[in-house]
């Protein structure tokens, strides 16, 4: 009988014939190619119909007028009132009057207002303002603080005799120039309203609650260290909830837990109103990929207590900028966080586990499923599940191969097994291409100075990285099926083998990740469960052997895992893309985005993408994806791909207007100059500014001076700046920078100690609220001891000179007296022994900038947020 053309066949008839095609024609009958775009668009439609609405789902805001009808609920409108007052204080830099006095008074006054409203028959409320002094090693620097401030409120039930406290923490200081209404004002006011709700509740709780409003987190993490190591209530804190914001708004993500206290996750599962969490975020954050840290580290490492680290993660573009304002904090986000925190505080403050919080040496695997429910189990349980599901999956694959051999007239089980191994090998190649092609795109765009094109136009990711990942995943098997057709096994069976290969790869991947101790292998577990379920249904129902009738079952059961994986990796893109605008010049940010997109495609479309081979001319379909990539590339290199937008998606620049003085061993000044020191925040450095009104004539790399001066002769601020200093820039300035204050380093002399090879050099440092010391031994000399924390000297394999000492203070501006013991084998201390740099930073806007610096900063384009202040760098040789 003559075969009809596609146009002569109604669509439904073609579909039916396609699904139920006889074995002898199975290798020839496929759906027409024009069905493929609809198939691919189906997944895109599911992304926008399911993933996006669930990801952005937030509760309605509770208003003050509704409070009488909704007793015991978090009232977002009142928290917003607190936030409005907090925002109008302005930037709250540690050491500034705004932070150390005005904000402290605001918090104390609000706590006293709550005391007046409190059920005094049920509760006691104590308010303490702490001013700690201390120091510790933070990453690659000694982090010292003096006279900073914490506002601490303890709420306890009169009926309770518990000596186990729950700690709730947020910070009220902010970055220079930023009001900090998101980071961390949002969580400050959430804590304040939670305190109020607990204080007016008619139901007492078992364990006292300590509300720590800390005033030096951005410095970094100083105030939490001062509390947990010195405060009278610290030893009794047995669990904590740390509240952070990585942007402004959105849902609050649980991204760290424990360590080794899975009961915390059990309570989170039972009581969190709007669960949003993943153990994968915990492992990524703790890997150091993100240029951030939180007080969680301090409570864990110095307090030896377990807790939760929770942060809002939306709109990271305004994070640490002047645009982090009250107006950019949605009320529904405050309500979401308030609902969660209030419920958790009520639960933990009545938890019997708080009496005994000993570690059980078991991590937790946890994640929310599309925000609908929360899944939690121990790491040991996860290992068992991986093994069981992995073995069952492999058994099902074996059963499928056996059924194919029974149903095929021309293929035996050994032959089918060999073909399957070939397909498995090609699928491994496809997996590698799925990851490598997006990475190749990242390398090519970076080589063409076009990184971060998606920074504002995030939709470009679909063409730039998702399409290449799909092509890479499918291409090897598409070429195999089209160039080497198998006449002895139906195409429907061959296509099933390709899906089985993906299942086996995921089982192997789960084993590898488990052996590496990574809990993120739960992604493989989810994927295996849904495909193995589809395979089991098809085997039991015999759809497995009826042409392509097995395909709808597979597609239907892929909807949920597809939605979850897209939801998960969309969250990471929401977090990472803004972060990459401040990740520094030294790394290619597109590699991270490309990797995320490739892994997302592997998990979300690993099974569905292979079904492209159900259609005729699959190579044409892949060509269409390639054309789509090309079109997106052309768009990306146009003005659409320019990364930055004024006020919303800004380029970041750190600019210190600096005076430098270099003293030699004899006390003479060998060099004195002024200029602008630039700490580049993203991969493009200042390239986007070349055609602007900003005069960058004479801009040179800092690396030119690294061989001549300690710390390259620049006033780098934190350890993160100093670590990558060779990538920074220096722009000389003819006129001298006018500083708003003085920095003095007085050399008090040196004394040769009893050994004869060690001399003690004594100094006194005075200056602004933020200062640095950089210590570099000269020649054969080495640092034997000093008056700072010794850890860096005791671990020379980890810490190498130049050593950085970071010192800041709040209201106590007493000068810093210190000594450095230098050892020289020859005992000759009349020759150069120590190169020492003293750096002062006038960070707060309470200090005046000179007129020329103001004009220079004002010349930056409106799409740039400049974090700037005056600084001085003094180099000495002793």
pLDDT digits (tens, 9 = 90+) for 430-464: 999 999 999 999 999 999 999 999 999 999 999 99
Distance of CA 551 to the CA centre of its chain: 38
pTM over 0.85? The answer is yes
Q: Are strands 864-877 and 651-663 parallel, antiparallel or unpaired?
A: parallel
Residue 739, H or E segment: none
The more confident residue out of 25 and 232 is 232
Work out the pLDDT band at 290, boundaries 50, 70, 90.
confident
In order of 5, 491, 780, 794, the CA distances from 26 in angstroms are 17, 6, 80, 72
Give the ranges where 735-877 is alpha helix by DSSP (H).
Answer: 791-794, 851-858
At 668-702, the pLDDT tens digits run: 999 999 999 999 999 999 999 988 999 999 999 99
Q: What phi, psi does 365 have (nearest 5°)?
A: -100, 125
Domains of the chain: 28-53+380-641 (no CATH), 67-362 (3.40.630.10), 651-877 (no CATH)
Instruction: Give the model's pLDDT for residue 393.
Output: 93
- Report how far residue 565's alpha carbon sits from residue 526's, in angstroms, rounded to the nearest whole number: 9
Q: Return the ∠ at Cα 95 (arms to 90 and 100), rounded to 5°.
A: 65
pLDDT single digits (tens) 292-336: 789 999 999 999 999 999 999 999 999 999 999 999 999 999 999
Q: Are 370 and 385 in contact (CB under 8 A)?
A: no
Q: What are 649's strand-pairing partners?
A: 645
Q: Is the pLDDT of residue 427 over 70?
A: yes
Rounded CA-CA distance 56/43 in Å is 19
pLDDT in tens, 326-367: 999 999 999 999 999 999 999 999 999 998 877 666 778 899
β partners of residue 31: 615
Q: Per-residue pLDDT tens for 482-499?
A: 988 888 899 999 999 999
Give the pLDDT confidence score for residue 263 in this predicted structure. Answer: 86
Beta-strand relationship, 237-245 and 165-171: parallel
Give phi and psi for 830, each to the nearest 5.
-85, -15
What pLDDT was estimated at residue 160? 93
Specify whether the CB–CB gap between 209 and 349 falls below 8 A: yes
Q: What is the pLDDT of residues 361-408, one digit of tens each?
A: 677 889 999 999 999 988 888 899 988 999 999 999 999 999 999 998
Residue 276: which of 250, 304, 251, 256 has the closest Cα?
251
Query: Do residues 558 and 527 touch, judged by C-beta distance below 8 A?
Result: no
3-state secondary structure of 837: strand
Please state the rounded mean pLDDT for residues 727-736.
Answer: 95
137 pLDDT more than 80: yes
**Strand, helix or coil for residue 95:** coil
């Amino acid at each position: 009988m003559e075969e009809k053309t596609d146009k002569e066949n109604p669509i439904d008839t073609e579909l039916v014939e396609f699904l139920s095609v006889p074995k002898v024609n199975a290798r020839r009958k496929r759906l027409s190619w024009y069905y493929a775009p609809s198939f691919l668009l189906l997944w895109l439609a599911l992304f926008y119909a399911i993933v996006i609405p669930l990801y952005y789902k937030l509760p309605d805001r509770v208003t003050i007028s509704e409070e009488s009808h909704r007793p015991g609920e978090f009232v977002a409108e009142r928290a917003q009132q607190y936030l409005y007052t907090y925002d109008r204080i302005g930037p709250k830099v540690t050491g500034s009057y705004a932070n150390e006095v005005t904000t402290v008074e605001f918090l104390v006054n609000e706590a006293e207002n709550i005391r007046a409203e409190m059920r005094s028959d049920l509760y006691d409320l104590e308010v303490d303002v702490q001013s700690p002094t201390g120091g510790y090693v933070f990453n690659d620097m000694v982090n010292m603080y003096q006279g900073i401030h914490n506002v601490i409120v303890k709420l306890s039930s009169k009926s309770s005799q518990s000596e186990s406290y729950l700690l709730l923490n947020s910070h009220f200081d902010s970055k220079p120039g930023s009001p900090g209404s998101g980071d961390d004002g949002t969580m400050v006011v959430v804590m304040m309203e939670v305190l109020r709700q607990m204080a007016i509740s008619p139901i007492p709780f078992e364990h006292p609650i300590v509300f720590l409003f800390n005033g030096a987190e951005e410095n970094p993490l100083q105030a939490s260290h001062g509390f947990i190591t010195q405060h009278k209530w610290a030893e009794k804190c047995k669990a904590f909830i740390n509240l952070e914001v990585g942007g402004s708004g959105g849902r609050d993500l649980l991204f760290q837990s424990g360590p080794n206290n899975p009961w915390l996750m059990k309570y989170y599962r039972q009581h969190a109103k709007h669960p949003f969490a993943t153990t994968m975020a915990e492992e990524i954050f703790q890997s150091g990929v993100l240029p951030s840290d939180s007080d969680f580290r301090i409570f864990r490492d110095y307090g030896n207590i377990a807790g939760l680290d929770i942060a809002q993660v939306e709109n990271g573009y305004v994070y640490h900028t002047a645009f982090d304002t009250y107006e950019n904090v949605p009320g529904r986000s405050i309500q979401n966080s308030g609902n969660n925190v209030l419920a958790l505080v009520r639960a933990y403050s009545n938890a019997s586990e708080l009496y005994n919080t000993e570690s059980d040496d078991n991590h937790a695997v946890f994640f929310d499923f599309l925000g609908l429910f929360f899944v939690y189990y121990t790491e040991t349980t996860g290992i068992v599940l991986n093994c069981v599901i992995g073995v069952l999956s492999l058994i099902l694959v074996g059963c499928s191969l056996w059924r194919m051999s029974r149903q095929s007239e021309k293929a035996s089980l050994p032959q089918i097994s060999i073909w399957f191994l070939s397909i498995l090998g090609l699928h491994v190649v496809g997996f590698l291409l799925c990851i490598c092609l997006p990475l190749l795109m990242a390398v090519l765009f970076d080589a063409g100075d076009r990184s971060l094109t998606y920074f504002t136009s995030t939709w470009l990711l679909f063409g730039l990285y998702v399409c290449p990942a799909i092509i890479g995943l499918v291409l090897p098997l598409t070429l195999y099926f089209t160039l080497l057709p198998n006449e002895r096994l139906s195409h429907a069976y061959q296509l099933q083998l390709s899906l089985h290969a993906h299942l086996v790869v995921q089982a192997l991947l789960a084993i590898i990740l488990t052996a590496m101790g990574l809990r993120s292998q739960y992604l493989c577990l989810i994927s295996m469960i849904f495909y193995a379920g589809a395979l089991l249904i098809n085997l039991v129902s015999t759809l497995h052997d009826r042409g392509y009738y097995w395909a709808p079952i597979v597609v239907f059961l892929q909807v949920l895992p597809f939605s979850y994986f897209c939801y998960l990796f969309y969250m990471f893109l929401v977090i990472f893309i803004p972060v990459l605008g401040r990740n520094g010049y030294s790394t290619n940010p597109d590699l991270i985005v490309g990797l995320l997109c490739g892994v997302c495609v592997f998990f979300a479309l690993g099974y569905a993408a292979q079904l492209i081979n159900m259609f005729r001319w699959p190579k044409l379909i892949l060509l269409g994806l390639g054309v789509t990539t090309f079109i997106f590339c052309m768009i990306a290199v146009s003005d659409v791909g320019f990364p930055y937008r004024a006020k919303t998606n800004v380029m970041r620049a750190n600019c210190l207007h600096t005076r430098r003085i270099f003293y030699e061993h004899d006390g003479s000044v060998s060099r004195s100059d002024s200029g602008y020191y630039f700490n580049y925040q993203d991969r493009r450095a200042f390239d986007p500014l070349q055609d602007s009104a900003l005069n960058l004539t004479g801009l040179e790399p800092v690396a030119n001076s690294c061989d001549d001066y300690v710390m390259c002769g620049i006033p780098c601020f934190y350890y993160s700046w100093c670590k990558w200093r060779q990538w920074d820039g220096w722009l000389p300035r003819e006129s001298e920078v006018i500083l708003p204050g003085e920095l003095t380093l007085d050399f008090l002399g040196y004394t040769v100690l009893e050994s004869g090879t060690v001399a003690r050099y004594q100094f006194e440092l005075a200056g602004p609220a933020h200062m640095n010391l950089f210590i570099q031994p000269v020649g054969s000399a080495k640092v034997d001891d000093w008056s700072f924390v010794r850890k860096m000297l005791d671990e020379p394999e980890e810490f190498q000179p130049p050593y950085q000492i970071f010192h800041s203070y709040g209201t106590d501006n007493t000068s810093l007296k210190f000594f450095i013991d230098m050892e020289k084998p020859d005992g000759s201390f009349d020759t150069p022994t120590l190169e020492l740099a003293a750096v002062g930073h006038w960070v707060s806007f309470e200090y005046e900038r000179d007129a020329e610096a103001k004009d220079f900063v004002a010349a930056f384009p409106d799409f740039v947020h400049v974090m700037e202040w005056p600084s001085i760098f003094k180099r000495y040789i002793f």
